[in-house]
Amino acid sequence: MADKNWIGAFENAFPAEALQRDCPMAACTTLRLGGPADLLAEPATEEELLRMLALAGERSVPVTVIGRGSNLLVRDGGIRGLVIRIGRRMKGIETDGTSLTAMAGTTLTELAHHAAVSGLAGLAFASGIPGTVGGGVLMNAGAYGGEMCQVTSWAEGVRPDGSRFRYSRDELGFGYRHSRLQDEDGIVTRAGFTLREGDRAQIEAEMADLNARRSEKQPLQQPSAGSTFKRPEGYFAAALIDQCGLKGMRVGGAAVSEKHAGFLVNLGGTAADFEELMRRVRDIVEEKCGVCLEPEIRILGEA
């Protein structure tokens, strides 16, 4: 049971710009859905993050860690306890030859553009992924044949108990949209990337081409969490959903995109609408195709 005065304890311990009471999670996710978090905290350093975790532990406060919220559905009741967002206060990139080191709150778009300007190839695929370095490494984000595991050389951070880790690429145990960090609740604070020399103009042209293809095929103008379901082995989720005639299907203000069946979009609904639409899509695909779709997005909070 959390100490009733725990929020005051955080406000005494951390700068005002790092904290926000009753923060609407709709403002913290690309889906633009979700009720309030009791307290949102944004650390600027690993040490500050460790102090936040320690204080939460002392006060028996539940902790939820998020990044940019691009792969997240927060329910309408919001999130009780402390939400730690690794984002705008924990950014930065350093270059050393063909290697980059980035803080976890750096966006993948920022990382990809920094690499391109530096004449380093290998990250063009990430230029349109709307997540952060921390989240990208955690879930082995990917697009257009590229994945973070192809360029990540190491990652370091902390666990909820305050212990630190530093894992090499092999130790990270990468799989499809997965790493060992998900099993350990690891919180990435920094990661290193090994790239190769390339021509800036060619890299930027490749990025422009990939982003044009994204814009043509994906509903980028509507709030979404990207691909809602994982790719089932031997299939494509979007193709199965389309095959079942579900494009345009709606539950309240949530809909299956007319442009790309793999994207469920928010047209002004609630998190409950979105979750119910996910359930119906999953059930229909399983009934008609015999394939069980698994969510790619995280679902958090209270209904």
Report DSSP state, residue 229: B
For residues 204 and 262, give the distance between their C-alpha atoms in angstroms, rounded to a whole number.
27
168 is catalytic: no
CA-to-CA distance for 190 and 21, rounded, in angstroms?
Answer: 27
164 and 181 Cβ atoms separated by less than 8 Å = no
β-partners of residue 197 are 120
Question: Choosing from 85, 227, 231, 282, which is the catalytic residue?
Answer: 227
Say which residues have a Cβ less than 8 Å from residue 230's Cβ, sequence separation at least 6: 176, 177, 237, 293, 294, 295, 296
Task: Tell me how far apart the alpha carbons of residues 190 and 101 are, in angstroms, rounded to a whole number.
Answer: 7
Q: From the candidates 59, 177, 190, 282, give the one annotated as an active-site residue.
A: 177
> What gap in Å lies between CA 23 and CA 36, rounded to an integer?
5
The 10 Å CB-count burial string (b at 16+, else e) for 91-113 is bebeeeebebbbbbbbbbbbbbb
- Spatial neighbors of 199 by CB under 8 A, at least 6 apart, are 119
Tell me the CA distances in angstroms from 138 to 44, 94, 109, 156, one per residue in order.
Answer: 19, 20, 16, 11
Structure tokens at 158: 């902390």
Active-site residue, selected from the candidate residues 42, 46, 110, 296: 296
| DSSP-based three-state secondary structure for 240 | helix
* Residue type, position 254, single letter: A
227 is catalytic: yes
Q: Which residue has the tokens 């790493």?
A: 179
294 is catalytic: no
User: Known catalytic residues?
Assistant: 177, 227, 296
